Amino acid sequence: MQEELVGVNAELRYITVELMKIASQRNVSFEDIAQEYINNVYFLDTAVRAGRVTTDAKARKVPTKENSRH
């Protein structure tokens, strides 16, 4: 049990760092990127359970400050 918890914590730290990098690159808040990630996880889970995953599946992307002005 303790080993699983250590593994989960390591994965969460890795995901957090990667999401922070993406937030910085897109110039949006970490909260926005984290919400996008969570939405995509639930979307993928639902799609897999429904057998709807195809190569055409697209993630929903949070607009950046640069492209949201257009």
SS3 53: coil
- Predicted confidence at residue 54, as pLDDT, reads 63
Which residues contact residue 63 at a Cβ distance below 8 angstroms, ignoring those fewer than 6 apart? none
pLDDT tens readout for residues 10-47: 999 999 999 999 999 999 999 999 999 999 999 999 98
Per-residue pLDDT at 68? 57
pTM for the model stands at 0.67
